[in-house]
Amino acid sequence: MIPLCCNGVNLPEIMLFCQCSKRGIIVHMLTNNTILGVVGLAGAGKTEASQHLVQKTKWPKIHFGDITAQGLKELKLEITEANERTFREEMRAVYGMAAYAILNLAKIKELAATSSVVVESLYSWEEYLILKKEFGESFKVLAVCASPAQRSKRLQARALRPLAPEEFESRDISQIENLHQAGPIARADFTVVNEGERSELFKNIDIIISKLSA
């Protein structure tokens, strides 16, 4: 590891790590801080998990979905499940499947220079690979999981943009098949099963925070 310097002063928070491979030398941006991606299918509890992480750690949060909401607002389109899906897929048609990681990368680097960062709604396998390439072992993933029945029940009951059972099933299929969302969940460094009360979810997340802080 080679510390970066600014006016002769070492910056221990940011480092470069060079790794030799058959394809040459891969340069990672490593930080003593953690970039923690929170992943999971709709209704698993990503938002609750991310909010608790931010509340407990005071880490800044980047929500990949904010780009979608802002884009629809600029296009003067209603924020609906169908419009969000269309916008996401069009963005990925233009920038590739790693679109949201690419578009948020500069902001993540800026925040990671001084703090650990929570990244909510990382979806695709390609987004995962971009962040892993950039941050190496400093990038970790927390998967929040729940059964389809439990997730559907939650999404039907939520106040903001509830999903009917057929919409829920369509979204699951789309996210798995079109957004390649299963990869980051399968490769998560930490997995929390969220089938019970929020207090249980938060207790399990606190254990993960302790591990990251060790």
Structure tokens at 88: 């996401």
> Which residue type does 134 have?
E
The pLDDT score that the predictor gives to residue 13 is: 36
R_g of the chain computed on alpha carbons: 18
Question: Do 144 and 53 form a contact (C-beta atoms < 8 A)?
Answer: no
The pLDDT score that the predictor gives to residue 147 is: 97
Catalogue all structural domains in the chain, each as residue range(s) with its CATH number.
1-32 (no CATH), 34-213 (3.40.50.300)
Q: What is the pTM of this model?
A: 0.80
The pLDDT score that the predictor gives to residue 149 is: 97
Strands 139-145 and 61-63: unpaired
Q: What's the rounded Cα separation, in Å, for the pair 158 and 144?
A: 18
The pLDDT score that the predictor gives to residue 12 is: 34
Flag residues of the chain having pLDDT under 70.
1-31
The pLDDT score that the predictor gives to residue 31 is: 55
Torsion sign over Cα 72, 78, 81, 86: negative
